[in-house]
Amino acid sequence: MNALSKISQDVNIAPQPTTGSLQTIEIAAIDVAPNHRKPDPDWVAALREDMMHRGHHTPIQVVDLGGRYQLIKGLRRMLAVEQLGHVYIDALVQSPAQFGSDAALRLRQISAQIMRRELSVLDRAVNVASWRAIYETTTGMIRPGRKSIRVKFDPNSEESLEEHAELFSGTFSEAAQRALGLNKEAVKRYLRIAKIDAPVVDRIALHSIADNQSELLALAAETADRQGAIADLLLSQPAGASSVAGAIYVIDGTAPAPVLAPWERFSERFTSLRPPEQERFFDVHAAAIERWRAKRSN
């Protein structure tokens, strides 16, 4: 028995279907419980921008308490609609009789917030790639960002990936980029991951690798045939490999490259800098360097 079922049993709450009448109600008449999940303002801004272009199609859920309403689900959408200057909002209005008790109402509010599956890294990558492709298909370019440039590169080249990422991320405001995690570098990573062969994507969608960005990037770097072989090992029972590197070791018989510590990765990048760039780094981090020198002299 899951936690919500146990709570329902303890307070004698029968499962309630999501029924009610669709009404247009005044936003000012809606109350939000003090312990409702606090909305991320960047998410609200992102939803507002999306509604400006595509409208608001999903009603919020409220319970009618007689003259006023209490919100069950849809706080971010309600705030976005309010920020657009609207006084009214579409809502699925339910009766208190459908819940039977305050405890049942609160349980519905809790379940509306937690009983939803967040997108995995793989899900997000596939969706971002599809979203970007829709822009390309419908307009031939990415817009409306800082610039609208028709992509002229080989679609599978690194230059194309860079251009797609820059243009697509530029279609979002800074708030939306923060809320959605869609800045240029993030989009590049998602587009790389989305290059994983479609049959392999289906096979690993519910595996733990689906929410491991570094593992997905390592898998995406392999050919389609090797991706399939790696998936075979990751999904085999008992597990034939616990990571992409481990699967490659089994396939090729070569030990995976050691995982470098952050300072080791930085050291490799630092040594490739030109002397003036290294000196600028020293200037910026002079205090840390002096602290290190003082420690060495003691």
pLDDT of residue 256: 61
Q: Which of 26, 196, 176 is nearest to 125 (CA)?
A: 196
- Quote the CA–CA distance of 109 and 70 in Å, as a whole number: 10
Rg (alpha carbons) of the chain, rounded to whole number: 26
The mean pLDDT of 278-287, rounded to a whole number, is 88
Sheet holding 21-26, edge to edge: 21-26, 88-94, 60-64, 69-73, 30-31
Residue in the structure block whose two tokens are 């029972």: 237
Residue 135 has pLDDT above 80, yes or no: no
The greatest distance separating any two alpha carbons of the chain, rounded to the nearest whole angstrom, comes to 76
Structure tokens at 291: 């602290």
The mean pLDDT of 206-222, rounded to a whole number, is 91
pLDDT of residue 27: 94
Residue 33 or residue 208, greater confidence: 208
The reported pTM is 0.57
Residue 37 has pLDDT above 80, yes or no: no
> How confident is the model over 65-91, as pLDDT tens digits?
888 999 988 888 999 999 999 999 999
pLDDT of residue 30: 94
pLDDT of residue 154: 52
pLDDT of residue 165: 75
pLDDT of residue 143: 46
Q: What percent of the chain has pLDDT over 70?
A: 74
Residue 7 has pLDDT above 50, yes or no: no
Q: How far apart are the first and last CA of the chain?
A: 62
- Quote the CA–CA distance of 267 and 271 in Å, as a whole number: 6
Most confident of 50-64, 110-124, 135-149: 50-64
- Quote the CA–CA distance of 47 and 41 in Å, as a whole number: 10
